[in-house]
Chain A
Amino acid sequence: MMLRYFLKRILWLIPTLWIISVVVFFLAKATKGDAISPPRFEENMSLKQEAEYYKSERIRMRLDLPLFYFNIHRASQTDTVYRIPERHREALLSLAYHCNNWPKVDRFYAALKKAAFQKKISKAAFNNLISSYHQSSLKANKSKWTKEIDSVPVLKKRIIELQSKHLSLDNYLLNFKFYGFDNQYQQWLIRVLNGNGAYSSLQQKEQGKQLLRALQWTLGMSLLSLFLAFGLALLLGLLAFKPAFKQFKPYLERIFLSLYATPNFLMATILIFFFASGHVLKWLPLYGIGDASETDGTFSLIQLRAPYLILPLICYTYAALAYFFEQVKGNLANQLKSDYLLTAQAKGLSYFASLSKHALPNAIISLISLLGSSIPALISGSFIIETIFNLPGMGKLSVEAFLNRDYDLIFTITLIGAALTLLGNLISDFAYHAADPRISIYQKEKAK
């Protein structure tokens, strides 16, 4: 039963991730800003050179492929929209809507391009004629550029053709087109699956490596802090219930509530102020990961990097610790009321032994399910902590990507983050089941 359940969960993972990937891909595509940066010395370039630059860039970035497996579009528009360069697409599609006929627009565009490449019309005239959305504005513009248009009879003919009325229902009809598997989405997905991310301002080859390294850093730090928080929370939870320490319990609770309410960027700034800036103490380095060479042994590497990682680790851990402590406390309080613990204490077990041997395992089980759900919070935390302490992890990478407007990279990281979380949830549910086979997660979900 449980095996079947987990197989089902794993199978569910695939469509979920696929849907996320599609959503993420289209989000990345919908973000404003041009994918191709304009060429340097654009002013001095001839139109032909410019067009060639854009063409080569589009091929390099594989923008010359259809966007997705299929497309639904107005019948008045072309099914090969992806072949129009991005900078002209909006204008031409708008023109196609007003003319109600794509071939006319296509012929106009071709004639315009030809005239411009042969330098029969000026660059300004070309740009202006392209971006004249409506026929009315085309007419108005015509007067301005009449002389240049008149010198190219073919172009003039095309413009007159554009202005002629074309009655059809094409604007209200839909066409469906299947493009096959050679499309931008597929290419992007393959690159992501290869761990290669998307193209960005950074070097393509380097980026794959960088992404992997960043993933290692973030995962390593989060898992370390997760286990640290888990262990500490258990220990403190046990101590808090010890009769000798009972008077400290309210203070401990208040401290943890305050810790939980402290934003991590504030905590990091305060810690830096006290321990690293030199205003109070200068015990620890400010940021970075230290200059370690690849040839150093593991031990010396750890020795070198440990001081750099103490503050980030504290920032990663404290909020999770406060949260776990709260849960441990609640669980243990429930266990303490139960009869079996009374029995254990009655037969002479010490307080600590009775709690750690009997109550703790029970308390742990319900904590395990929290591990998976705390992964998103840890990744969210990594953004700030890695940026402040300059650790080369995913968070810093995505903040940099955002500041560079490198949306492809941001969405790749989003996808990786989602995959990690889903996987974490699955693993923690599995561990939950493994820790206590009596609890059927199937039932747990139903009870939810």
Chain B
Amino acid sequence: MKKANFHTLSLAYLYLGLMAVLGILAPILANDKPLIAKSENAWHFPFLREGLYEKSDYHWQLNPPIPYGEGSLEYAQSDAISPFDDQSKKAWNQRHWLGTDQLGRDVLTQLIYGCRTAFWVGLGSMLIAFIIGIAVGGFSAYLGDGQLSYTWPKYLFFLLLGILSIIAFTLIPPYQVKGVSTSQLLSPILSICLLIVLLLLIARLLFKRYSDIKSKQFNLPLDLFLNRLIELIDSLPSLLLVIALSALIQGGVASLILIIGLTAWTGIAKLFRAEVLKIKNSPFISSAQSLGFGNSRILFKHILPNALPSVTVAISFGVSSAILAESSLSFLGLGLSGAQASWGAMIASARVDLEAWWVLLFPALAIFLTLLSCHTIGKSIMKQQHT
């Protein structure tokens, strides 16, 4: 039993690694442009060039193993080509090994570029979520209960700072940045920065003069605030939130990654917070505190290295849910534009004509195995941590 578990786990890692390699190498594996070409006096790398490829006469050229690009269409055929059809191609590598879809796109090529999309979405959005989650979780746990206590003039100052920064944001023109010179954008921000510096100086002077006001300190309920924020974000259905935000931030894969990252950090934050709380109460931290180490030293040198491993569970589940979110959106036609390959969009296109089973089967397998691998890895890490 134990051996079998190990086996599936290594299979999961192997599969994810394979997908990552396929995703990274996608433009080299499948492209309608040659990889390296030699003309009379120079070497060319046509696959690096954007835009349409015009066939030119090279002395010698190296073609990618799959001679179809992300957007290549098979014009001659109006129907989906089965992998078992007699495709009557000139060269062996022109064969559609996994067939084509109804539009004449090579399924294998789409699958490989879908890998690329999934890879970037999974990695990129989790990176964003990781940074936000660690910051929020760490602050809320470490500085949450009674670590941050200030005198009331300082609160007043923070309040002012908050109001001013809000104003700085509202002062960014409500109209589009396009056509507005940068000085117009920057001037209010700069002036407010100046104001803040001035206020800081005044506050310093005041604090020095009236230091006896400092007698009473109040706790900053940072933990409460951040927990409310997490609760707020968790209470919104994630797909709805992503859809609503993608109405706001429009664009390609990058904006999708940003949106998914911005909505997916709560799980990491919650887990990290719990872990930091646990570690914070352990004896070695209190001894560090009694030695007089600063907050940042304790946080970065003692707590972070011990708490970070716990987040790996949330990350491995998070990667799967990020990929799931992207493919769901693409399935609904709300995600990436049609030009970019995505497993979800492939499955959606398979729904048009279920007779062409190969259009459904391969992306379905790819996405299922990816999610399954992520879950398997997450579960095994969870088990490891419990024992």
Residue A30 interfacial (CB < 8 Å):
yes
Instruction: Tell which of A376, A410, A421 touches B243, judged by Cβ atoms closer than 8 Å.
Output: A410
| Interchain CB contact under 8 A, B367 and A93 | no
Closest chain B residue to A20 by CB distance?
A: B232
Tell whether, in the assembled complex, residue B334 and residue A273 are in contact, meaning their CB atoms are under 8 Å apart. Answer: no
User: Bound complex: CA of A263 vs CA of B235, how far in Å?
Assistant: 21
B312-354 vs A, CB cutoff 8 Å, 1 = contact: the mask equals 0000000010001001100111100000000010011011001
Q: Is B360 an interface residue (CB 8 A)?
A: yes
The minimal Cβ–Cβ distance linking B203 to chain A, given in whole angstroms, is 20
- Asked if B131 CB lies within 8 Å of chain A CBs, one says no
Which residue in B180, B181, B332 is a CB contact (below 8 Å) of A387? B332
> Which of B191, B239, B250 lies at the interface centre, i.e. has the most chain A CB atoms within 10 A of its CB?
B239
Number of A-B residue pairs with CB-CB distance less than 8 Å in the complex they form: 160
Expressed in whole angstroms, the minimum distance between the Cβ of A249 and any Cβ of chain B is 11
Q: Which of B237, B244, B374 is within 8 Å of A410, CB to CB?
A: B244
1/0 contact string of B253-283 vs chain A (CB within 8 Å): 0000000000000000000001000000000
Chain A residues lying within 8 Å of B368, measured Cβ to Cβ, are 258, 261-263, 266
Bound CA span A262–B343, Å: 13
In the assembly, what is the distance between CA of A377 and CA of B324, in Å?
12
Chain A residue at minimum C-beta to C-beta distance from B170:
A72
Cα-based distance from A354 to B151 in the complex (angstroms) = 59
Contact of A265 among B238, B240, B328 (CB under 8 A): B328
Do A277 and B354 have beta carbons less than 8 Å apart? yes
Q: How far is the CA of A148 from the CA of B264 in the complex (A)?
A: 57
Chain A residues closer than 8 Å to B228, beta-carbon distance: 16
Is the beta-carbon distance between B237 and A172 smaller than 8 angstroms?
no
B355 within 8 A of A: yes
| Cβ–Cβ contact A380 & B175, under 8 A | no
> B137: shortest Cβ distance to chain A, in Å?
13
On chain A, the residues within 8 Å of B239 by CB distance are 379-380, 383-384
Question: Which residues of the partner chain B approach A377 to less than 8 Å between Cβ atoms?
Answer: 237-238
CB-nearest residue of chain B relative to A29? B174
Partner of A97, one of B184, B235, B355, B371: B184
Chain A residues 230 to 274 lying within 8 A of chain B, measured CB to CB, are 250, 257-258, 260-266, 269-270, 272-273
Q: Is B372 an interface residue (CB 8 A)?
A: yes
A229 and B360 alpha carbons, distance in the complex (Å): 28
**Once the chains bind, are A133 and B180 in contact (CB under 8 Å)?**
yes
Question: In the complex the two chains form, what is the Cα distance from A375 to B240 in whole Å?
Answer: 13
| B237 neighbours in A (Cβ, 8 Å) | 375-377, 379-380, 417, 421
> Which of B232, B236, B375 has the largest number of chain A CB atoms within 10 A?
B236
Interface of A is mostly: helix
Given contacts A97-B184, A262-B368, A380-B237, contact A269 B176 (CB under 8 A): no
Chain B residues positioned under 8 Å from A20 (CB to CB):
232, 235-236
Interface string of B173-187 (1 = CB under 8 A from A): 111100111001001
A171 at the interface (CB under 8 A from B): yes
Chain A contacts with B in 32-63, Cβ cutoff 8 A: 32
Contact call A418/B248, Cβ cutoff below 8 A: no
Residue tally, chain B, CB below 8 Å to A? 59
A31 within 8 Å of B (CB atoms) = yes
Nearest chain A CB to B146 CB, angstrom units: 14
B167 interface hit (Cβ, 8 Å): yes
Contacts of A260 in B (CB 8 A): 375
A97 with B173, Cβ < 8 A, contacts A261-B371, A277-B354 known:
yes
Query: How far apart sit A257 and B368, CA to CA, in the bound complex (Å)?
Result: 11
At the interface, yes or no: B234 with Cβ under 8 Å from chain A?
A: yes
B104 at the interface (CB under 8 A from A): no
Determine if A133 and B179 form an interchain contact, defined as CB atoms under 8 angstroms apart.
yes
Q: Which residues of A contact B238 (CB under 8 A)?
A: 376-377, 380
Complex: A421 Cα to B232 Cα, angstroms? 10
- A11 is an interface residue with CB less than 8 A from chain B: no
Complex formed: what's the CA distance from A405 to B344 in Å? Answer: 22
CB of B291 closer than 8 Å to a CB of A: no
- The reply to whether A257 and B364 contact each other, CB–CB distance below 8 Å, is no
Query: Quick check: A422 and B235 within 8 Å, CB to CB?
Result: yes
A1 interface residue per 8 A CB criterion: no
- Contact status of A384 and B179, CB under 8 A, knowing A172-B187, A172-B188, A279-B354: no
Is B102 interfacial (CB 8 A cutoff)? no
Indicate which residue in A30, A73, A262, A448 contacts B248 across the interface (CB closer than 8 Å): A30
| Cα separation A266 to B274 with both chains bound (whole Å) | 35
Asked whether A398 and B367 contact (CB < 8 A) given A261-B375, A273-B360, the answer is no
Given that A20-B232, A31-B247, A387-B332 are known contacts, is A261 also in contact with B354, CB under 8 Å in the complex? no
Interface size of A as a range? 35 or more
Determine if B351 and A269 form an interchain contact, defined as CB atoms under 8 angstroms apart: yes
Complex CA distance for A171 and B379, rounded to whole angstroms: 57
Q: Does B24 reach chain A (CB closer than 8 Å)? A: no
Q: Are B248 and A31 in contact (CB under 8 A)?
A: yes
Tell me which residues across on chain B come within 8 A of A182, comparing CB atoms.
none
CA–CA, A127 and B160, complex, Å: 43
The interface residues of chain B lying within 8 Å CB-to-CB of A380 are: 237-240
**Is the CB of B171 closer than 8 A to any CB of chain A?**
yes
Asked if A414 is at the interface of the complex by the 8 Å CB criterion, the answer is: yes
CB of B372 within 8 A of CB of A258, answer yes
Tell me how far the C-beta of A295 lies from the nearest C-beta in chain B, rounded to whole angstroms: 35
- Chain A residues with Cβ below 8 Å from B175 are 89-91, 93-94
Contact (Cβ within 8 A) B375 A270: no
Nearest chain-B residue to A12 (Cβ)?
B228
A257-B375 contact in complex given A30-B248, A94-B180, C-beta closer than 8 Å? yes
Given contacts A261-B375, A263-B328, A448-B274, contact A411 B244 (CB under 8 A): yes
Contact bitstring B207-243, A, C-beta under 8 A = 1, else 0: 0000000000000000000001001101111111101
- Residue B117 CB within 8 A of the other chain: no
B376 interface residue, CB < 8 Å from A?
yes
Chain A residues lying within 8 Å of B344, measured Cβ to Cβ, are 263, 265
Other contacts beyond A269-B347, A422-B235: 8, CB < 8 A? A30-B248, A32-B250, A133-B180, A171-B188, A265-B328, A269-B364, A273-B360, A410-B247
Closest 3 pairs (CB-CB, A-B) = A90-B175, A380-B239, A379-B237
Can you report 18 residue pairs joining A to B where beta carbons are below 8 Å apart? A24-B244, A31-B248, A32-B248, A90-B175, A94-B179, A94-B180, A174-B171, A263-B324, A269-B350, A279-B355, A379-B240, A383-B240, A384-B328, A384-B332, A402-B243, A405-B247, A414-B240, A417-B236
Residues in chain A within 8 A of chain B (CB atoms)? 16, 19-20, 24, 27, 30-32, 72-74, 81, 89-91, 93-94, 97, 133-134, 171-172, 174, 250, 257-258, 260-266, 269-270, 272-273, 277, 279, 373, 375-377, 379-380, 383-384, 387-388, 398-399, 402-403, 405, 407, 410-411, 413-414, 417-418, 421-422, 425, 448
